[in-house]
Structure 1
Amino acid sequence: MSTTRVRVQEQTLRVLAGNIFVAAGCSLEHADLIADALVWANLRGFDAHGVSRILRYLELFDSGESNPAPDITVDQTRSAVAIVDADSAPGPVALSTAMDHAMSLARTVDIAWVSVRGTVHTGALGYYTARAADYGMAGMGIVAGMPTLGYPGRGGAVVGTNPLSVALPAGKHQTVLLDTTTDFSAAPELLPPSVIPSHGIGGAGTSLVLELLASGLASNPIVSRFHSDKPGGRRHRQNAVLMAVDISAFVAPEEFMATVDDTLEAINRLPVADSTTDISYPGEPGVRTLQERRVDGIPLHVQLLDDLETAADKLGADVPSDFR
């Protein structure tokens, strides 16, 4: 693949992505959601979850593992608990539905937990938790995916690279946005080249408990079925949990955000121990990248641009005139 990069403006990418997903069978609303989530990731430097994923989404549609026109249902099981049956919807559609529902519940019952059953590729998890912070709430999320990580003392892929995200609103500062994953690295001699190693029982154990929470409570186990002979056990799927917390149920939102500001500033005042290390709080580097890319555009490999144009042409989707 060519290493040459071309900068493309965010709105151009949104239009192209939206056009492709509509042509692939998504509704206009769902296509816009997917496009927004992917471009959001590119704008913040999470390029692995950006528009390069369009090609994978189209593959999942073609294989039948993902549904471009899902019948999503929300089962309100308790006052603060709901389960979204995604019907194999793309992650941006399913998880946006879940977080919006969680925020709606939290406005009434203060804290809400919404599980997502059977989606595919959730993308940048911080996209959804940040939605809660934008509304002055605390947002939390976890995802359980297909096994790709090793487990100490066991051979092959055992658990997934399950991400965790927390978003907290601040006052003077930008949202504190943690978006991390259990993609660590141990016992590589036990693993084939296709398997990502794991950093011991702590890392693998974290991935395991996230699987149990996200998949067990959604009645859609991934790991146990993956390692069984059950039909469809290795069919691509993901589960998730989105939580929203109304901060005012605990403390005045202004007081909480002032605490966030004071904490960040206290850390910034400490002596610098390593001048080569970038000192920043979770989410801050992404904001800096956002500010730069909103002005200069999003750098993309020329080969990716070619592939996206080819996919658009194959589907009969319009390519914006300023794409190149």
Structure 2
Amino acid sequence: MPPAPKVVVPAKELSGFVTDLFVRAGVRPEHAATLTEVLIWASLRGVDSHGASRVPRYLEMFESGVANAAPDIRVVSEAAAVAVVDADRAPGPVALTVAADEAVRRARANGIGAAGVRGTVHTGAIGYYTSRIAESGLAGIGFVAGMPNMSYTGVKGAAVATSPLSVAVPAEGHAPALLDMATAQIALGKIAQYRNAGRTLPEGAAATADGVPTTDPNVAKIPLPLGGTKGAGMSLMFELITSVLLGAPILSSFHGDDPAGRKHRQNALLIALDPAAFGGDGFAAAAGTTLETLKGLTRADEDTEIVYPGERSAATAETRTTKGVPIAAKVWNELRTAADKLGATPPHPAN
């Protein structure tokens, strides 16, 4: 049986609707706007697993208290180039946007700026924050560590997190070069998309709760590491340079006897680099030339375009901004249910 057709919603109307849902759920208007911006950014770029499909989950987290709708976010730092953001269980898009702006401000003054975030929940698409840094003319690097939900070589069951890495670089004449990748073969949100669509998972992407590889999205519980030991090792290192560095370890707490060890939380580290401080005058122009050089190389297959990281998603964003955002029928029904519960009015689909 083929999956139900997707509902296409105008981007502006979808954004207003999602913001309204969050405000009605008790989120401060300015935080609701930021949370929405990050989620719709992902939807526009085709990262649907981290876009509008996440709205029902965020609403659940606010209702259950897992996420704080009115957090007391504090920026703590004694070092000129370093900030530590105590998130107070703020949703990740709110806390990491604060961190990205702090990293940029400190990089402009010191050449480099780093902002760590501890005690947030679900960071969303990490590429948004490094892109925000790149749009300021700086290079951005981001790491996130979360709850163990991925396998680790030699361990039975979930051991480490599907911790993502992102790097964004401004490039003259081009959308920023943007690498945004998890340390897993597949994201949990992507597994849900396969399940909703009734599709079989790729071989080697996921496993059951006991660690047995499977292509059935209905029993898949654990993503497998990207590149085996390489992805697993990267995840462990990201835990060390975020959670442990910030004095908020997750892995040891989760697998130990800490009563709060299974409480959902995430930590992050964002770094901004000012090219001028490295003697990089004309950095964006040189980066643009580098991308042009890459795209001008001889193709291995004339029918396959050479693209740089972030190029396709930027083009998708242009299309979806004009034509609307496609949303899976199941997700649209969940959003309508949330609207009924909160007294909001869904926008009319474009199709």
SS in structure 1 at match of 2:222: coil
Residue identity matched to 1:149:
M
**What whole-Å deviation, never above 9, does each CA across 1:149-184 have from its counterpart, x for those lacking one?**
111111110100100111111112221111111013
Alpha carbons of 1:140 and 1:18: their partners in 2 closer, same or farther (altered >3 Å)? same
SS in structure 2 at match of 1:31: helix
The structure 2 residue matched to 1:312, chosen from 313, 336, 339, is 339
**What whole-Å deviation, never above 9, does each CA across 1:43-93 have from its counterpart, x for those lacking one?**
000000101101111111122211111010010131111110000000110
Instruction: Report how many residues are paired.
Output: 323
Compute the RMSD of aligned alpha carbons: 1.9
Determine what percentage of the aligned residue pairs are the same residue: 48
Unaligned runs of 5+ in 2: 186-203, 213-219
2 CA distance for matches of 1:80 and 1:86?
Answer: 19
Aligned to 2:248: 220
1 CA distance for matches of 2:232 and 2:302?
Answer: 32
TM-superposed CA distance for 1:299, in Å, is: 0.6
Say whether the 8 Å CA contact 1:39–1:50 is kept in structure 2.
yes
Say whether the 8 Å CA contact 1:186–1:200 is kept in structure 2.
no
Greater CA drift, 203-212 or 256-265: 256-265
The structure 2 residue matched to 1:191, chosen from 188, 211, 220, is 211
Residue identity matched to 1:228:
G
TM-superposed CA distance for 1:197, in Å, is: 2.0
1 CA distance for matches of 2:347 and 2:223?
Answer: 38
Q: Does residue 300 of structure 2 align to residue 273 of structure 1?
A: yes
Greater CA drift, 195-204 or 101-110: 195-204
TM-superposed CA distance for 1:244, in Å, is: 1.1
Say whether the 8 Å CA contact 1:2–1:303 is kept in structure 2.
no
Greater CA drift, 313-322 or 226-235: 313-322
Taking the TM superposition and a 5 Å limit, the aligned residue runs for 1:166-185 are 166-184=167-185
Aligned to 1:153: 154
**What whole-Å deviation, never above 9, does each CA across 1:183-212 have from its counterpart, x for those lacking one?**
135996961542222232211001100111
* TM-score normalized with structure 2 length: 0.87
TM-superposed CA distance for 1:94, in Å, is: 0.3
Q: Does residue 56 of structure 2 align to residue 55 of structure 1?
A: yes
Aligned to 2:311: 284
2 CA distance for matches of 1:168 and 1:200?
Answer: 28
Aligned to 2:271: 243
TM-superposed CA distance for 1:143, in Å, is: 0.4
SS in structure 2 at match of 1:116: strand
1 CA distance for matches of 2:321 and 2:292?
Answer: 27
Q: Does residue 291 of structure 2 align to residue 264 of structure 1?
A: yes
SS in structure 1 at match of 2:151: strand
Alpha carbons of 1:258 and 1:323: their partners in 2 closer, same or farther (altered >3 Å)? closer
Taking the TM superposition and a 5 Å limit, the aligned residue runs for 1:76-115 are 76-115=77-116
SS in structure 1 at match of 2:157: strand
2 CA distance for matches of 1:280 and 1:252?
Answer: 24
Residue identity matched to 1:214:
T
**What whole-Å deviation, never above 9, does each CA across 1:249-268 have from its counterpart, x for those lacking one?**
11344x21222122112212
Aligned to 2:5: 4
2 CA distance for matches of 1:139 and 1:223?
Answer: 26
2 CA distance for matches of 1:224 and 1:14?
Answer: 38
Greater CA drift, 51-60 or 258-267: 258-267
Alpha carbons of 1:49 and 1:127: their partners in 2 closer, same or farther (altered >3 Å)? same
